[in-house]
Structure 1
Amino acid sequence: MDISKKLVETHSLTKEECLELFSLFNNSEVMEYLKEEAVKVRKQYYGTKVFTRGLIEFTNYCKNNCYYCGIRRDNRNVERYRLSEEEILACCANGEKLGFRTFVLQGGEDPWYTQERIADIVKKIKKAHPDCAITLSVGEKSKEIYKAWKEAGADRYLLRHETANTSHYHMLHPESMHLSNRKQCLYDLKELGYQVGAGFMVGSPGQTWEHLAEDLVFLQELQPQMVGIGPFIPHHDTKFAKEEAGSVDLTLKLLSVLRLLLPKVLLPATTALGTLDPLGREKGLSAGANVVMPNLSPVENRKQYELYDNKICTGDEAAKCKNCLSARVRSAGYELVEDRGDYIG
């Protein structure tokens, strides 16, 4: 059977089949077919709805030293900040007024935010906004900590695996970090009943087609409810400052493939896509994505949360950002909805 048809019909690929499919990525006819099928599948489960996630980047302190990241521990040029509990709650209140029904608390791995502090913030958000979903994205923790946050009211957790290949993982991270631990965290989160998000950078330094095939195989094993992928973008204060950025085109092709491999997945058109291409997020939606993540963080802190260079939407206040996004989503033939946007199991 033709490999593209196999993907459409079975929603599965082995590593060898992934590599075979990648060899057809320059065939415009095959790619157009996959894109059309991806959009069909996305519409089958989610119609033309695009879900919003209100992103609150609440701390840019991080104990880790990931080689690609602008807020890594050893970058002395970062102006560090932490949002207070009051500021986080104010972001959520503003977000609910604007129609957001999911808040994403994202930060570096900041030891100041202990298990208790995060649990307390989650409880307060849930009390104030009982109809809203809370997503946490604060890195690798023990299963006990994840359990405590789930009990406090957290619904979802984002933890990109970054690469499913061990040697590639070590190329991107210091020796103190291990892919096996990151994967274990993802499995723990699933077991605890979170809606789980994994994902990887496209075009990260040293990435090969084999690595990408392993990423797709791992995601099929994990069966996450969300997958975030975006092109790698270098940051000037990292060892990869001079590396080339990842490809928007390749990211879009992989979005279509992911939609077909995981038909019900919540798939964002990421900020990184919009950073490299002014129409990147619209193109992402047209390739099978169904989520956007506008920024609810205070405007004065957005530039400080710079994981990579030239990140977009660092100057617009949330209302303006959402209106602009709503128009962009409409232009792609979809509609931004005020909905928690849960995974349909």
Structure 2
Amino acid sequence: MTDQLVEKLRKDRDLSDSELKALIEDPSHDAALTQAADEVRRQWYGDKVYLRGLIEFTSYCRNDCLYCGLRAGNKHAERYRLSKDEILSCCKEGYALGYRTFVLQGGEDPYYTDDMICDIVRSIKEKYPDCAVTLSIGEKSRKSYERYYEAGADRYLLRHETADPAHYSKLHPQNMSSENRKRCLWDLKEIGYQVGAGFMVGSPYQTTDNLIADLRFLQELQPDMIGIGPFITHQDTPFRDMPGGTLELSLRMLAILRLMFPYALLPSTTALGTIDPSGRELGLQSGGNVVMPNLSPVKVREKYAIYDNKICTGEESAQCRSCLEMRIKSAGYRAVTDRGDVKRSGSAVNTED
């Protein structure tokens, strides 16, 4: 029997708030949602899963977000910084493995000045001109974003975390604001980046209305990438005893996003694999089409502990390409390492291209 609500979302890429609420809260739609999301992602991207080489280059952060293990107030965190040469070494290894996108991610660390970031980006682009460089280093001024873009950065990831200002204030210190986070995203989009936003699923105090607000904000922004994942606690944060986000709701929201934003690049995140051994495969089957293996030096991976039990070795390793590719294949897809830029128009895709 056809699920009329799911089919309406697939056709219109939109629903009323009350219809979205029903879809988000009622698990009886899940099977139809998953099937529709997979069909739409295959229409736009075939069976391709894009691999991005992730380099977590600093675990220092000036912010004190209540949910994050890297928060400035966590005195138990093991901190590290990678040098430019270490970052370039990660890129060299990744390039040899076939990666054509490098994601430089870190806490908001003032040690890395704009000059340093621009020098690193410029050096990567000079050595690997056929590669895309993605930055994920938090809230900056528009001038800083412009400088990174001029240096050669192609993409920028900045999850908005929650679009509701009142909810945002419950997750962040007073010196941070939802308004400024959104300002950053609009600046990035206007400058010309491929922009990624996103939110936590099941974060403390989150309601269905909050999730709907997230979807409405994304409709306004129309980002190229949308990264979501379940909230996972960290023992050294004020939210250590809060319940975590569930796999079921995370997959449901991923499928909804695929139907609302069929063109988008949607990661199947490490967090999904942390809360369930098959989480990332299930994420791919719910509309995801990006996986980000870790290129960071093995010695620092466990130190980038944004939440407890984060996957940092074994099949998460970029070196274990065959392991990862087999898992992706087992889910019904094919790992590819090209740049994988966003597609803004959909058509039947040749899965062998």
Give the structure-2-normalised TM-score: 0.95
Alignment of 1:100-249 (within 5 A): 100-249=99-248
Consecutive unaligned residues of structure 2, counting only runs of 5 or more, are: 345-353
Question: Once superposed, which parts of structure 1, at least 4 consecutive aligned residues long, lie more than 4 Å away?
Answer: none
For 2:5, give the aligned amino acid. Answer: I
Q: CA deviation at 1:316?
A: 6.2
Q: How many residues align?
A: 342
Post-superposition CA distance 1:67-105 (Å, at most 9, x none): 000011011111111000000000000000011110000
1:315, CA displacement in angstroms?
5.4
- Could you report, residue by residue, the CA deviation over 1:230-251 in whole angstroms, capped at 9, with x for unpaired residues? 1100000000011111100110
Question: CA offsets per residue over residues 8-66 of structure 1, 9 Å max, x none?
Answer: 1101134333213224x221xx3212211111110111000000111000000100000
Q: Is the 8 A contact 2:158 2:196 kept in 1?
A: yes
Any conservation in 2 of the 1:102–1:135 contact (CA below 8 Å)?
yes
Contact 2:114 2:147 (8 Å CA) reproduced: yes
2:7 is aligned with 1:26: no
Q: Corresponding residue for 1:8? A: 10
Task: Provide the secondary structure at the position in 2 that maps to 1:22.
Answer: helix
CA RMSD of aligned residues (A): 1.3
Q: Does 1:52 align with 2:51?
A: yes
Between 47-56 and 34-43, the greater mean CA deviation after superposition: 34-43
Q: Percent identity?
A: 58
Aligned residue for 2:349? none
SS in structure 2 at match of 1:234: coil
CA deviation map 1:140-167 (0-9, x unaligned): 0011110110010000000000001111
Q: Give the match's secondary structure for 2:235.
A: coil
Structure 1 residues without counterparts, runs of 5 or longer: none
**Compared CA separation, residues 305 and 43, structure 1 to 2 (3 A):** same
- Give the TM-score, by structure 1 length: 0.97
SS in 2 for 1:119: helix
Secondary structure (helix, strand or coil) at the match of 2:198 reads: strand
Alignment of 1:303-314 (within 5 A): 303-314=302-313
Larger mean CA deviation between 14-23 and 274-283 belongs to 14-23
Aligned-residue offset at 1:320: 3.6
Contact 1:204-1:232 at 8 Å conserved across structures: yes
Q: CA deviation at 1:317?
A: 7.9
C-alpha distance in 2, partners of 1:123/1:48? 33
